[in-house]
Amino acid sequence: MLRYIARRLILTIPMLLGISLVLFLIYNLVQIDPLVMIVGERAMDNPEVVAAAVKKWGLDRPIWEQYLTYVVNMARGDFGASFLTRRPVMDDLRLFLPATVELALSSLAFATVLGIPLGILAGVKYRSLFDRGVWFISLLNASLPPFWTGLIFLTIFYFYLGIMPGPGRLDPRMSDPERVTGLYTVDSLLAGDVQAFGSTLHHLVLPTLILGGFTLALVVRVTRAAIIEEMRRDYIRTARGKGLSERRVIVRHALRNVMMPLVTILGLAFAGLLSGAVMTETVFDWPGLGQYLVKAAVNFDYPAIQGGTLLIAIVYVLVNLVVDVMYGLLDPRVRYD
């Protein structure tokens, strides 16, 4: 098992190299002069400033040397510095990732806790009114764009009803909790600030509903379909024949087999939540990875794009690995060799 994990991790190295090479080639094909962005339009007239920037950012080196330097630095965990923020990309990612992780975890929890029971009930009561209702709501969830639902939710629950807070991670009149993990829920508790903790939770509700809504629809549909299929199997008939209660049949027997496809979906959904929350982050002024990467892309901030892309690739690799390991735990028939 450990050998399997180690081998999988080693295999990611050529993959990351490949991704970085493709990104590097695209960057050099597009022929955009990053200098304008680094020093700004006006300072371009000052040769001294331009020369200092060229030297500092290594833009006078041949292309292959720039790439080699990049790969060597990357191996040391140094992704270079963002043209746009002038800070190390690693620091930027560390800064913006926690907000995204906090929202992704909260959305995943929401989708799982609500989605699995709903999916089971809908599957068991296949074709009932309840099933159709759940199906309709999850279809709605999956097809409405989050920037639209986000604005509508804010308008109703914040602006008109006033029962939910506005955008942001914390009440504007409160100061941010001292940064330890970057997760405001954890940091506010560590700081012993109950007010900030409450405000953080409150601020998480609407973006979680929006972002988690899509995942919820996915979880419901997968659970429902799997339950429908499992309930027709022979072992279910056997279990019923033994005289087990219907509840026991579902929880002890059917649910175990439903876990396999669910784990796959949840793993991918979590990776997706980390990389695809751009719209929700924008509507809710959520200072996360999505907003950071969009700004990097618009401004052609190559080191930031590369660092962010590699980070997301690593997340996918790790999530897939976790999912594969979980298969083994859930199903004794799976062997790693």
Q: Is 287 left (phi over 0), alpha (psi -120 to 50) or beta?
A: beta
Residue choice 15, 19, 44, 59 for contact with other proteins (CB under 8 A): 44
Q: Are 103 and 207 in contact, with CB atoms under 8 Å apart?
A: yes
The minimum distance between CB 187 and other proteins, in angstroms, equals 12
Ramachandran sector of residue 86 (left: φ over 0; alpha: ψ -120 to 50; beta: rest): left
CA distance 281 to 162: 21
Alpha-carbon distance of 73 to 30, in angstroms, equals 23
198 binds other proteins (CB under 8 A): yes
What's the Cα-to-Cα distance from 181 to each of 97, 108, 165, 184, rounded to whole Å?
10, 19, 23, 8
Minimum distance from residue 51 beta carbon to other proteins (Å) = 9
Contact flag: residue 60 with other proteins (CB under 8 A): no
Q: Which of residues 218-277 bind other proteins (CB under 8 A)?
A: none
Residue 72 found at the interface with other proteins (CB under 8 A): no
Residues 101/274, Cβ–Cβ less than 8 Å = yes
When the beta carbons of 142 and 164 are compared against other proteins, the nearer one is 164
Query: Interface with other proteins includes 306 (CB under 8 A)?
Result: no
Stretch that binds other proteins, among 40-48, 64-72, 206-214, 309-317 (CB under 8 A): 40-48
| Structure-token pair, residue 181 | 């993990």
> Residue 36 is encoded by which pair of tokens?
């304008």
Query: 3-class DSSP state for residue 169?
Result: coil
Please state the φ and ψ torsions of residue 88, each to the nearest 5 degrees: -55, 135
Residue 244, CB half-sphere, CA atoms under 13 Å: how many?
A: 16
CA distance linking residue 294 with residue 259, whole number of Å:
35
- Comparing CB distances to other proteins, the nearer of 167 and 261 is 167
Candidate list 287, 317, 328, 330; residue touching other proteins; CB under 8 A: 287
Phi, psi (rounded to 5 degrees) for 81:
-115, 145
Which of 41, 62, 76, 242 contacts other proteins by CB under 8 A? 41
- Least separation in angstroms between residue 329's CB and other proteins is 27
CB contact at 8 A, 85 and 79: no
Closest separation in Å from C-beta 254 to other proteins: 21
The span from the CA of 249 to the CA of 254, in Å, is: 7
| Nearer Cβ to other proteins (79/96) | 96
**Residues from 19 through 38 that contact other proteins (CB under 8 A):** 30, 32-34, 36-37
Single residue of 19, 186, 268, 299 touching other proteins by CB under 8 A: 299
What is the pattern of x (binds other proteins, CB under 8 A) and - over residues 126-155?
-------------------------x--xx
Residue selected from 292, 293, 316, 319 as contacting other proteins according to rule CB under 8 A: 292
> If you ran DSSP here, which 8-state letter would residue 176 be given?
P
Contact between 156 and other proteins by CB under 8 A: the answer reads no
Binding residues (CB under 8 A) for other proteins: these are 30, 32-34, 36-37, 39-46, 48-49, 52, 56, 84-86, 92, 95-96, 151, 154-155, 158-159, 162, 165-169, 171-176, 194-202, 282-283, 285, 287, 291-292, 295, 298-300
